[in-house]
């Protein structure tokens, strides 16, 4: 691992006995204290294991959820530390604070090749502060715990936060395996991708994907659009969308995208049928799905998935692709009656003879929840937002700081 090798050189030629702070992305979904999807923890293992094998004393920093800068037991990383230990096959120590007395004692007690997890960095206001002095003060305390720093939390590299950006300015640093792999894969999506190049976008809002659509209209051959965001496109074409999710302020933007695509020869594929219901799924009401034409959505209905004909059309549009990027489910995949479109897209990706990239977030969660073998996809990203910002052409602060020396 070149990144860690370069860090070893900066620290005198060996990592043995050195305290290495690793910023991982362990932001996993919890049901109480039970982890419902440990994909991000598993993705963090290769870098941590490499440091352990090099004899480093590994200090893992991460966040979970969005606490408001103060400790909140609902967002504790304690269950994550337990699961990390299970996956490593070794005891993992846990500090009940991030930079306080517990962290100091836990780090001081580490021996070569041992691992500790610090409590949620977002329990400290300085982590996400917009005030550089406040953020820097917290970064100083984190940096004081370590001799070197490894950035391996791809899901947060688009954030200018203390444990992502400021600590890297204070310690000898390197890029971890996970981040290096993510950047390499995303570069393949933006620099001379093998064609045909298809992009599948879903999720709830057009506004979440504006930048990536704008940028990929210049690079992709086909854009397949589903999920809640599709209804703004359908409305922009003049169709009734009933009670479906709609962003009125994005109608002109969608019309512009459709016109630009037509002028540049990029195919935008919208569903021609959708699965609707008269209410959003809830625990006290059984779903009542109905398939209707995309241009004939009843006024009292809302779209919750792409329909079977659209699923088949999307799969056909992906069949000959050599590069595919997918971000966002096609419907409410958590409910069986509205999961077929997302399942069809995932299945089609497993058949592609080329690079397939699942862009993190709900797409990655859907792959696992729907029971697909992760090995059937070329790459499953751990960072939905970071992936999108990279594909928009934005600078990622957590990456640029590593290049500053």
Which residues are the active-site residues?
A: 40, 205, 361, 385
Q: How confident is the model at residue 405 (pLDDT cuts 50, 70, 90)?
A: low
pLDDT value for 211: 87
How far apart CA 380 and CA 368 sit, in angstroms, is 10
Q: Is 327 annotated as a binding residue?
A: no
Q: Is 11 annotated as a binding residue?
A: no
**Residue labelled with tokens 């079977």:** 308
Every domain range in the chain assigned CATH 3.40.50.1260:
4-177, 185-392
The CATH architecture of the domain made up of 4-177 is 3-Layer(aba) Sandwich (3.40)
What's the average model confidence in pLDDT over 182-202?
A: 94
Q: What is the 3-state secondary structure (H, E, C) of the chain?
A: CHHHHHHHHHCCCCCCCCEEEEEECCCCCEECCEECCCHHHHHHHHHHHHHHHCCCEEEEECCCCCCCCCCCHHHCCHHHHHHHHHHHCCCEEECCCCCCHHHHHHHHHCCCCCEEECCCHHHCHHHCCCCHHHHHHHHHHHHCCCCEEEEECHHHCCCCCHHHHHHHHCCCEEECHHHHHHHHHHHHHHCCCCCCEEEEECCCCHHHHHHHHHHHCCCCCEEEECCCCHHHHHHHCCCCCCCCCCCHHHHHHHHHHHHHHHHHCCEEECCCEEEEECCCCECCECCCCEEEECCCCCCCCEEEEECHHHHHHHHHHHCCCCEEEEECCCCCCCCHHHCHHHHHHHHHHHCCCCEEEECCHHHHHHHHHCCCCHHHCCEECCCHHHHHHHHCCCCCHHHHHHHHC
Q: Is 122 annotated as a binding residue?
A: yes
pLDDT value for 1: 43
- The region of weakest confidence among 59-68, 143-152, 296-305, 387-396 is 387-396
How far apart CA 327 and CA 323 sit, in angstroms, is 14
How far apart CA 60 and CA 24 sit, in angstroms, is 7
Residues 119-177 have pLDDT tens digits of: 999 999 999 999 999 999 999 999 999 999 999 999 999 999 999 999 999 999 999 99
Q: Is 360 annotated as a binding residue?
A: yes
How far apart CA 103 and CA 118 sit, in angstroms, is 6
Q: Is 155 annotated as a binding residue?
A: no
pLDDT value for 355: 96
The CATH architecture of the domain made up of 185-392 is 3-Layer(aba) Sandwich (3.40)
Q: Is 166 annotated as a binding residue?
A: no
Average pLDDT, the chain: 95
Q: Is 300 annotated as a binding residue?
A: no
């Amino acid at each position: 691992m070149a990144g860690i090798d370069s860090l070893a050189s900066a620290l005198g030629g060996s990592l043995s006995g050195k305290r290495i702070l690793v910023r991982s992305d362990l932001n996993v979904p919890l049901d109480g204290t039970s982890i419902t999807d440990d994909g991000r923890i598993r993705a963090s293992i290769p870098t941590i294991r490499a440091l352990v094998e090099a004899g480093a004393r590994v200090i893992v920093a991460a966040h979970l959820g969005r606490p408001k800068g103060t400790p909140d037991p609902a967002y504790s990383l304690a269950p994550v530390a337990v699961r990390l230990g299970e996956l490593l096959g070794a005891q993992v120590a846990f500090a009940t604070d991030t930079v306080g007395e517990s962290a100091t004692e836990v780090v001081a007690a580490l021996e070569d090749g041992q691992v500790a997890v610090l409590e949620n960095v977002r329990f400290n206001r300085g982590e996400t502060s917009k005030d550089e002095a406040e953020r820097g003060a917290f970064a100083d305390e984190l940096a004081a715990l370590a001799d070197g720093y490894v950035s391996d939390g791809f899901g947060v590299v688009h954030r200018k936060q203390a444990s992502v950006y400021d600590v890297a300015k204070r310690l000898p640093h390197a890029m971890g395996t996970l981040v290096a792999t993510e950047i390499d894969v995303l570069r393949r999506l933006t620099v001379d991708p093998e064609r045909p190049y298809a992009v599948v976008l879903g999720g709830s809002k057009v506004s979440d994907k504006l930048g990536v659509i704008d940028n990929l209209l210049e690079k992709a051959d086909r854009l397949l659009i589903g999920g809640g965001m599709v209804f703004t496109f359908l409305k922009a074409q003049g169709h009734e969308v009933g009670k479906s999710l709609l962003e009125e302020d994005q109608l002109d933007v969608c019309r512009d995208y459709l016109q630009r695509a037509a002028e540049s020869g990029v195919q935008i594929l919208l569903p021609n049928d959708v699965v609707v219901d008269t209410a959003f799924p809830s625990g006290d009401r059984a779903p009542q799905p109905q398939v209707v034409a995309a241009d004939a959505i009843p006024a009292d209905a809302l779209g919750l998935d792409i329909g079977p004909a659209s699923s088949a059309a999307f799969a056909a549009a992906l069949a000959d692709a050599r590069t595919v990027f997918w971000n966002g489910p096609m419907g409410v995949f958590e409910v069986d009656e509205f999961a077929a479109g997302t399942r069809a897209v995932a299945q089609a990706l497993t058949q592609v003879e080329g690079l397939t990239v699942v862009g993190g977030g709900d797409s990655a969660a859907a792959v696992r929840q729907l029971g697909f073998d992760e090995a059937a996809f070329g790459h499953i990203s751990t960072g939905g937002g970071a992936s999108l910002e990279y594909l928009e052409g934005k600078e990622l602060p957590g990456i640029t700081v590593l290049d500053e020396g």
